[in-house]
Structure 1
Amino acid sequence: MLVIALILCTGCGRKLPPLPPGMPDPVELVSAGFEENEVVVKARCNVPGSTITLLGKPKGLCPSCTDDLMRKDEAFVEEAGTVHLRDTAPDASYMVYRIAFSKGTLVWMTDARVVRRR
């Protein structure tokens, strides 16, 4: 009985086909870094007619937390492509940035990116 159960659990050995590619994220944080005394963030937006907002805060104890994020810059994206956003007055030498995407009632946010002054 145990042998039959083991044989049934192993299956036929075939693998499932790969999943089809999903939709890309509506906005992607491509790069972020200090240039002189400001932070320049390069973002790629895939949805025309949307608004993207640069959110930032000093690194602190929890870089992943979204509680203290402040609006630093905003741009309206007329067509899909690359957009440059700037934080002209960073609050600290270690900053955390995210990009918020909004179109109609849809709101989405990228993962955090830590930037430090060298």
Structure 2
Amino acid sequence: MIDNWLDIALAQLGKKYRSSGAFVAFVMNASQKQPVNQTGDWSSEIIDLTHEVYQISPVPESSPGDLLFWGIAQQPYSVGIYVGGAHYIAVNEKDATVQVQTLTHNWYPTFSGSTS
């Protein structure tokens, strides 16, 4: 497995994606991280991403590279990649561009999913 997801994600800064799921799927597939189902590539559908991580955990237990989800597990509406130190990389909901963002009280994920 190639562990270059951060380089790949950072190379996407400022680029536009149709959804947060499409961005995360691109990074995971390009870095060759395998989804838990091992049947193919990571999906760009956010609900599918929740089934492709190894373990769902509370956000404070997140490690760099884990996926952060907003919404309930049965119907998440946004996803990003945790960098560490209260930062994550995701598609900005306002302009559809990839940005490094900071976790805040007003925009805090509901759960995380381990990618390894």
TM interval, short-chain normalised? under 0.3
The higher-RCO structure (CA 8 Å, 6+ apart) is: 2
**Structure with greater proportional strand content:** 1
Q: Taking structure 1 as the reference length, what is the TM-score of the superposition?
A: 0.26
| TM-score of the two chains, using structure 2 as the length reference | 0.26
Q: Which has the higher helix share?
A: 2
Q: Which has the larger radius of gyration?
A: 1
